[in-house]
A and B are shown apart, each in its own frame.
Chain A
Amino acid sequence: MSSLFSQEVPLIFYLLLSAALFALGIVGFLIKRNLITVFMSIELMLNAVNLSFVTFAHQWHQVRGQIFVFFVMMVAAAEAAVGLAIIIAVFRARATLAVDRIDLMKL
């Protein structure tokens, strides 16, 4: 029991998890049509990166990585507020959240 908890999880597992989450985020961002899902995929990618930051900070006993994570979370929160507001506005205007239909900038 104790061996299970006292033993450190190797670095590579954290990084693999982070990479997997990031890849999931990319795939979700690319293939999903719903704007909210796409938005959530971006959040997923951000948090994948956060995970690797924390991992390295722990590994090298550096506090900077952790501070950076706080910054990312803060920006993500702001972004979520703005992004959701935009999404609501888009939905009110177009009555749809399908990414492919929001193409006013097209030539």
Chain B
Amino acid sequence: MNGSLHLWLIPLLPFAGFLINGLLGRRMPRPLVTAVALLAPLASFAIVAVAALNFFWHIGNFASVLPFTETCPIAWISVGTLHIEFSLVLDQLSLVMLLVVTGVGLLIHVYSVGYMAHDKGYARYFSYLNLFLFFMTTLVLAGNALVMFVGWEGVGLASYLLIGFWFSKTSAAAAGKKAFIVNRIGDVGFLIGMFLLLANFGTLTFTEIATKLGQDPGWSGGVVTVIALCLLLGATGKSAQLPLYIWLPDAMEGPTPVSALIHAATMVTAGVYMIARNHVLFDHSPFALSVVAIVGGATALFAATIALVQNDIKRVLAYSTISQLGYMFLGCGVAAYSAAVFHLMTHAFFKALLFLAAGSVIHGLGGEQDLRKMGGLRKRMPVTFWTMTAGVIAIAGIWPFAGFFSKDAILYSAFQHGSLGKALWFVGLLTALLTAFYMFRLWYMTFLGESRSPQLHPHESPWSMLGPLVILAALSICGGWVGIDRFGSFLASATGPTIDPATAAGGKSLDLILSGIAVAVALLGWLIAHMFYKQKPERPAQLAAALPGGYKLLVNKYWVDEFYGAVVVKPLMLFSTYFLGWVVDKAILGGGAWLLGGTATFAGALLQRWQSGNIRSYAAWLAAGAAALLLFVFIPWTTVLADIGIHLTQAGH
């Protein structure tokens, strides 16, 4: 593999798709729009896949060719000592991520053809989706933090556009705005982190930062911690972690394939990817690493408890996504970056599957999203049912489905990470129990039992939607079989070494015991869901009645939105309305403008009397002025002023 891989084509092809469909889509026939929209991700995926297969078959040894860097021949920013290139880097980490992004992206494009078939904004939808792929691949391929930031902001834009895709719906427009604004808060952290990187390292290139950190062991704590925490703030915004997770549940206002692609499989994992990309920084700051782990663990448990009682099928999945992202952060926080990326990959498969299956259900029910009105869909939608079953078992973490392997890898790494790690392992286990419970709850309420809305006539979705479901179901089953050992050693050069159970404390048997516990916990969650929603469907209501406080707390999502509303949004709105709006805008700016204008008008009203239009009056004024000038010249000013006590002295005397 000599020469160029043409990495630049990977982002640019979807961008071309965006331009074509965005500019001309409305005037093009639908099949042409579809062709353009599907060709772009297909071509990107093909380039990535061909590169990966080439490495795999012809070289076998990735380490000899990766990382592969492609730099734009024209310098991007060159000011003084600051030189930033527009460079794209393909290494093991970005290769895995690219395969996920373009692969899952392609499947979801195909699915969207069926799902959005009847929408008026068909071309607009696909142009946004292609735009998202452009920015996401840029983010993944970025060789330095600034290029990554371009992609980072771009996917935020695409997310905003797609959440508010049905912008005539007020709640969708508001949700888009919320996502955009909350993400900006995180971006401030990312930006400050970049400024600090420039100030302290003089470069934004990931490899150069890693080299500088490696050369000087003096880099630890202090400024590195601050940089790492700033980057973490950025990651919590994009990846919907505490305390900035609030935008993701609302983002479900967008079309379901968008929720699957952007708000489950790819964009929200950008934070995890960013931490893995900068893992050298985090490795040099144990404190920042602990913060990452605690944020992740807390988010995982917190979001899982909320998911227990949600009744909107997409919201359950949204909170589940937040919870699983928390898992990934937990993995990053215990320095098991490859385990986190492994979970990122399997999660992309099964969460995309779950969302797409949920979309199929919603599509079949004509837009119904409430779990309480579903039920008994197993017979009506068999393909959706079986694929979703695969997804549910995968996310619950039951062997041998994909979720088991990645979740187990994270839990094992946490357990091996000191006393904090043991506590986080327990939190993770508890989360796994809750995850299994709420996912099987969703499964029972949707597909089993009797239909609770007999007036609806559900129908199975077209094959353009079912095809991606089947492929993703296969990936959700087999995606984890590669195993963390092989996956970790593949990623090792990009994300650092993984713990080998054979040589670590506790040996191989500890690994097996922990896996056994994890599967047992997942099965327990299934059992509880079975007892609650299959055997005695009246039980959940009884439990809710028995614990009114706890139930209310969960149903109202801990009142976090209300809390933020009262503490942040309301004061800001009041400040804007009364201080900025009334005092600054109306009183100071408006009053000032009125005063200036009024003065001019008043003066004009006075002076316009002079403009009588009578030529002789003008002439008289002219003569009077000349006479006044003459008088002025002939008055002996020095003497007159001296008489009244003012003495004019010339300069220099």
Q: Please give the residue numbers on chain A whose beta carbons come within 8 Å of chain B beta carbons, in ascending order.
A: 26, 29-31, 99-100, 102-107
Whether, in the assembled complex, B623 has its beta carbon less than 8 Å from a beta carbon of chain A, the answer is yes
Whether A30 and B615, one on each chain, are in contact in the complex, defined by CB atoms closer than 8 angstroms, is no
Contact A106 B611 (CB under 8 A): yes
Among candidates A99, A104, A106, residue contacting B616 with C-beta atoms closer than 8 Å: A99
Give the complex CA separation of A106 and B612 in angstroms: 6
A106 to B615, CA, bound (A): 10
Pairwise interchain contact B608-A100, C-beta atoms closer than 8 A:
no
Query: Are B611 and A30 interface neighbours, CB within 8 A?
Result: no
Residues of chain B contacted by A103 (CB below 8 angstroms) = 613-615
**Chain B, interface residues (CB within 8 Å), range:** 10 to 19
Which residues of A have CB within 8 Å of B619? 29-30
Candidates A26, A31, A99, A107; contact of B615 at CB < 8 Å: A99
A29 neighbours in B (Cβ, 8 Å) = 616, 619, 623
Verify A100–B611 contact, CB threshold 8 A: no
Binding site for A on B (CB under 8 A): 608, 611-616, 619-620, 623
Complex Cα distance, B615 from A107, in Å, reads 13
Contact B608 A107 (CB under 8 A): yes
> Once the chains are docked, how many angstroms separate the CA of A105 from the CA of B616?
14
Tell me the dominant secondary structure on chain B's binding face. helix
Closest CB in chain B relative to A104 CB, distance in Å: 8
Q: Bound state CA distance, A30 and B620, in angstroms? A: 6
Nearest chain-B residue to A35 (Cβ)? B615
CA distance A102 to B616 in the complex (A): 11
Measured CB to CB, the nearest residue on chain B to A102 is B615
Bound-complex Cα distance A93 to B187 (A): 74
Verify A100–B612 contact, CB threshold 8 A.
Answer: no
Q: Which residues of B contact A99 (CB under 8 A)?
A: 614-616
Nearest Cβ distance between residue A47 and chain B, in whole angstroms?
18
**Min CB gap B164→A, angstroms:** 54
Q: How far, in Å, is A25 (CB) from chain B's closest CB?
A: 10
Q: Which residues of chain A come closer than 8 Å to B616, judged between CB atoms?
A: 29-31, 99-100
State in angstroms the CA–CA spacing of A106 and B611 once bound together: 7
Contact of B623 among A30, A100, A102, A106 (CB under 8 A): A30
- 27 contacting pairs across A/B (C-beta < 8 A): A26-B623, A29-B616, A29-B619, A29-B623, A30-B616, A30-B619, A30-B620, A30-B623, A31-B616, A99-B614, A99-B615, A99-B616, A100-B614, A100-B616, A102-B615, A103-B613, A103-B614, A103-B615, A104-B613, A105-B613, A106-B611, A106-B612, A106-B613, A106-B614, A107-B608, A107-B611, A107-B613
**Which residues of A are found within 8 Å of B623, using beta-carbon distances?**
26, 29-30
Separation of A26 and B623 alpha carbons in the complex (Å):
8
Nearest B-chain residue to A29, judged by Cβ? B619
Specify which chain A residues have a CB less than 8 angstroms from the CB of B612 in the assembled complex.
106
Residues in A neighbouring B614, C-beta threshold 8 A: 99-100, 103, 106
Question: B613's closest neighbor in chain A, by CB?
Answer: A106
CB-nearest residue of chain A relative to B608? A107
B440 to chain A, nearest CB (A): 86
- Closest-CB distance, B208 to chain A (whole angstroms): 73
Q: Tell me, in angstroms, the Cα distance from A31 to B612 when the chains sit together.
A: 16
- Determine how close the nearest CB of chain B comes to the CB of A32; give it in whole angstroms: 9
- Further pairs besides A30-B619, A106-B612: 9, Cβ < 8 Å: A26-B623, A29-B619, A30-B623, A31-B616, A100-B616, A103-B613, A103-B615, A106-B614, A107-B613
User: How far apart sit A105 and B613, CA to CA, in the bound complex (Å)?
Assistant: 6
Minimum-distance CB pairs A-B, first 9: A106-B613, A103-B613, A99-B615, A26-B623, A29-B619, A30-B620, A105-B613, A30-B619, A30-B616
Task: Tell me the bound Cα distance from A4 to B615 in angstroms.
Answer: 46
Nearest CB on B from A35, distance (A)? 9
Chain B residues with CB under 8 A of A105: 613
Closest Cβ neighbor of B627 among chain A residues: A26
> Which residue of B is nearest A100, CB measured?
B614
For residue A100, which residues in chain B have a CB less than 8 angstroms away from its CB? 614, 616
- In the bound assembly, the distance between CA atoms of A68 and B623 in angstroms comes to 23
- The smallest C-beta distance from A44 to any residue of chain B, in angstroms, reads 14
**How many angstroms between the C-alpha atoms of A103 and B611 in the bound complex?**
11
A97 to chain B, nearest CB (A): 12
